């Protein structure tokens, strides 16, 4: 963990991190405290006070792989912080050091070659932006590894991910309980394993509750806040049918963009249309209205992944890959109203 990684997680420049860590002027108190808290969580120390791993300690790498950065970006920093914190706690006292490897992924083959050169004992891979062929290619890795934040049923490797399909059942069930029968989905033009599973879960949940799937109620928007805001505005200007009573947005950031566009077109949330997000980012509890969303226990996911990896490293007999899906919790706030 270095200044570059702390800067990315804090959303500031490397210069700002350096000033904060060394007690220099030029950094606000709020920013300084945020940087120091991140450094503390990551067990980072300034050079004069830094502890170095003992020669006999073995290395575990957490690989954050970005293919395009459209899904895995600064909006997800709080997610990644929880993952890192959970892993860090698991590896403390285990005899392994913990290192973060951040890469813009040009090819899986290049990544595998780099890992062979670095020679870690094991890997935990953040697979948010990986596609199914990338996951297949990872089977060529000559070292134990676990992939988190994505899941492909057709690939036989160790996955730890959120239970997307179960979460969508819970979301639709809540909307039905609140009287909603006409429910749509906002999804992304850029797909990830999780987004595909949420789309599938949405359709399965509608079918379970005997609700029709209306393709005109399912809108694809560009990734991130700007993409969701821009494409929802475009959709609203071209609208020739009424909006559904409720919309599930594939994540909170998209929900923020959708709500902004709806408000600018005179819609009231939730009086005119109810909105549900996914992720429970910190802003979800602060925006207006407070966003109903799904909270994923990210630290539990990373704890399980670290435990699986340690078991792999300690198992001398054959290893049988497994997939673990962790259930989330629906956080009910103000963005869904009772439909009468």
DSSP 146-202: EEES---TTS-S-EEEE-HHHHHHHHHHHHHHTT---EEEEEESS--HHHHHHHHHH
First to last CA, the chain: 53
DSSP 216-272: GGEEEE-SHHHHHHHHHHHHHHT--SPPPSEEEESSHHHHHHHHHHHHHTT--TTTT
Is the alpha carbon torsion for 137, 142, 147, 151 positive or negative? positive
How far is Cα 140 from Cα 162, in angstroms, rounded to an integer? 25
Torsion over CA of 136, 138, 141 and 143, rounded to 10 degrees?
A: -110
CB 262 within 8 A of CB 234: no
How far is Cα 154 from Cα 12, in angstroms, rounded to an integer? 40
How far is Cα 270 from Cα 287, in angstroms, rounded to an integer? 13
Structure tokens at 124: 């935990």
Total-model pTM = 0.82
How far is Cα 251 from Cα 221, in angstroms, rounded to an integer? 12
pLDDT tens digits along 130-167: 999 999 999 999 999 999 999 999 999 999 999 999 99
CB 334 within 8 A of CB 289: yes
Structure tokens at 261: 């566009």
Q: Which domains does the chain have, with CATH numbers?
A: 1-52 (1.10.260.40), 56-162+298-326 (3.40.50.2300), 164-295 (3.40.50.2300)
| Structure confidence at residue 147 (pLDDT) | 98
Percent helix, strand, coil in the chain, to 5, is 45, 20, 40
Residue 162, φ and ψ in degrees, nearest 5: -75, 150
Label residue 272 left, alpha or beta by phi (over 0 means left) and psi (-120 to 50 means alpha).
alpha
Cα angle 107, 112, 117; round to 5 = 130
Residue 199, φ and ψ in degrees, nearest 5: -60, -45
Is the alpha carbon torsion for 70, 76, 81, 82 positive or negative? negative
How far is Cα 270 from Cα 263, in angstroms, rounded to an integer? 11
Structure tokens at 97: 């050091």
pLDDT tens digits along 18-74: 887 776 767 776 787 778 778 877 777 654 444 444 445 689 999 999 888 778 777
pLDDT tens digits along 319-330: 899 999 999 999
pLDDT tens digits along 118-134: 999 999 999 999 999 99
| Structure confidence at residue 272 (pLDDT) | 97
% of the chain with per-residue pLDDT over 90: 67
Average pLDDT of the segment spanning 274-291? 95
| Structure confidence at residue 45 (pLDDT) | 60
């Amino acid at each position: 963990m270095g200044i570059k990684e702390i800067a990315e997680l804090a959303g500031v420049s490397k210069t700002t991190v350096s000033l904060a860590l060394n007690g220099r002027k030029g950094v606000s108190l709020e920013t300084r405290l945020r940087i120091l808290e991140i450094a503390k969580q990551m067990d980072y120390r300034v050079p004069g006070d830094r502890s170095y791993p003992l020669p006999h300690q073995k290395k575990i790498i957490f690989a954050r792989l970005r293919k395009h950065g459209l899904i895995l970006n600064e909006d997800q920093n709080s997610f990644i912080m929880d993952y890192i914190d959970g892993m860090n706690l698991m590896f403390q006292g285990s005899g392994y050091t913990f290192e973060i490897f951040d890469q813009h992924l040009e090819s899986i083959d290049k990544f595998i070659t780099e890992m062979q050169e670095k020679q870690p004992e094991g890997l935990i891979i953040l697979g948010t932006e990986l596609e199914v062929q990338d996951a297949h290619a990872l089977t060529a890795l000559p070292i134990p590894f676990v992939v988190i934040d994505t899941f492909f049923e057709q690939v036989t490797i160790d996955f730890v991910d959120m239970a997307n399909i179960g979460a969508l059942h819970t979301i639709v069930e809540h909307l039905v309980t609140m009287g909603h029968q006409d429910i749509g989905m906002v999804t992304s033009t850029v797909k990830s394993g999780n987004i595909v599973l949420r789309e599938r879960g949405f359709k399965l949940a509608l079918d379970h509750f005997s609700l029709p799937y209306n393709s005109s109620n399912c809108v694809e928007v560009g990734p991130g806040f700007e993409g969701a805001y821009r494409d929802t505005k475009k959709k609203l200007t071209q609208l020739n049918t009424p909006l559904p009573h409720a919309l599930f947005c594939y994540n909170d950031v998209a929900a923020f963009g959708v709500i902004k566009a709806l408000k600018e077109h005179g819609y009231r949330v939730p009086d005119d249309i109810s909105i549900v997000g996914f992720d429970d980012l910190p802003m979800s509890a602060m925006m207006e209205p407070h966003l109903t969303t799904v909270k994923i226990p990210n630290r539990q996911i990373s704890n399980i992944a670290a435990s699986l990896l340690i078991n792999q490293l300690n198992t001398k007999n054959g290893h049988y890959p497994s997939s673990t899906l962790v259930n989330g919790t629906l956080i009910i706030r103000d963005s869904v109203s009772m439909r009468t």
